[in-house]
Structure 1
Amino acid sequence: MHAVRLHAFGPADHLVLDEVEDPLPGPGQVRVAVRAAGVHLLDTALREGLQGPAPALPDLPTVPGREVAGVVDALGEGTPERWLGRRVVAHLGFAPGGYAELAVTGHARLHEIPANLDFAQAVAMIGTGRTAMGIVQFADLGPGSVAVVPAAAGGIGTLLVQYAANAGATVVGLAGGPEKTALVAANGADLAVDYTDPRWPAKVRAHLGGERATVVFDGVGGDVAREAVALLGPGGVHLVFGWSGQGLHDGAPYLVDGVSRQVLGPVMREKAGGADPVRTLELRALAEAAAGRLVPAVRRFPLAEAAAAHRALENRGTTGKVVLEP
Structure 2
Amino acid sequence: MKAVQATAFGDPSVLSVVDLPDPAPGPGEIAIDVTHSAVGLIDVFFRKGQFKDQPGMPQPPVTLGLEVAGTVRELGEGVTGFGVGEKVVSMSGTGTGGYASVHVGPAAKAISIEGYDLDPALAVSVVPNAAMAHVALTRIAHLVPGERVLVHGALGGFAAAFPGIARQLGASRVVGTVRASKLAAASATKLPYDQVVDSADLPGALGGQQFDVVVDAVGGAVRTQSLELMPPGGRLIVGGNAGGDWAHQVDTNQLWLRNIAVAGFNAGAYLPAHPEVVRPALEAAVRAVVAGLADVEIDVFPFSQAAAAHERMENRDLNGRIVLAPDA
Fold-level similarity (TM above 0.5): yes
Structure 1 position 84, deviation (Å) = 0.9
Q: Is the 8 A contact 1:146 1:171 kept in 2?
A: yes
Deviation of the 1:165 alpha carbon: 4.6
Structure 1 CA distance for aligned equivalents of residues 22 and 113 of structure 2: 24
| Secondary structure of the corresponding residue to residue 85 of structure 2 | coil
Cα distance change, pair 187–89 in 1 and its aligned pair in 2 (3 A): closer
Does the residue aligned with 2:3 lie in a helix, a strand or coil? strand
Q: CA RMSD in A?
A: 3.1
CA displacement at 1:304 relative to structure 2? 1.9
1:1-326 equivalences under 5 Å are 1-51=1-51, 56-76=56-76, 83-94=83-94, 96-114=96-114, 115-137=116-138, 138-143=141-146, 145-165=147-167, 167-176=170-179, 177=181, 178-184=183-189, 186-195=190-199, 198-205=200-207, 210-247=208-245, 250-251=246-247, 254=250, 256=252, 257-258=255-256, 259-265=260-266, 276-295=276-295, 297-326=297-326
Alpha-carbon spacing, 1:82–1:53, altered in 2? closer, same or farther (3 Å): same
Q: Give the counterpart letter for 2:118 in structure 1.
A: L
Greater shift in the superposed pair: 295-304 or 168-177? 295-304
Q: Counterpart of 2:186 in structure 1: which amino acid?
A: T
Overall identity of the aligned pairs, in %: 31
Deviation at 1:35, TM superposition (A): 0.7
Corresponding letter in the other structure for 2:193? A
TM-score for both structures, normalised by structure 2? 0.82
Deviation at residue 88 of structure 1 after TM alignment = 1.4
Query: Alpha-carbon deviations, 1:111-151, whole Å to 9, x = none?
Result: 211513222232234431121111211253544x4322110
**CA deviation after TM superposition for structure 1 residue 52, in Å:** 7.2
Secondary structure of the corresponding residue to residue 224 of structure 1: helix
Match of 2:10, SS state, is coil
Asked whether the 8 Å contact 1:158–1:297 carries over to 2, the reply is: no
Q: CA deviation at 1:86?
A: 0.9
- Report how far residue 69 of structure 1 moved: 1.1
**Distance in structure 2 (CA, Å) of the matches to 1:164 and 1:80:** 31
Structure 2 CA distance for partners of 1:193 and 1:97, relative to 1, 3 Å: same
| CA distances 1:201-222 after superposition (whole Å, capped 9, x unpaired) | 32211xxxx4433322111111
Displacement of 1:36 in angstroms is 1.0
- Count residues in correspondence: 314
CA distance in 2 between counterparts of 1:296 and 1:191 reads 16
Ranges in structure 1 where 5+ consecutive residues have no aligned partner: none
Question: What is the letter of the counterpart of residue 112 of structure 1?
Answer: S
| TM-score under structure 1 length normalisation | 0.83
Specify whether residues 245 and 123 from structure 1 end up closer, same or farther in structure 2 by C-alpha distance, changes over 3 A only.
same
Which aligned runs of 4 or more in structure 1 are off by greater than 6 angstroms?
52-55
TM-aligned CA deviation for residue 27 of structure 1: 5.0
User: In 2, Cα distance between the equivalents of 1:89 and 1:307?
Assistant: 24
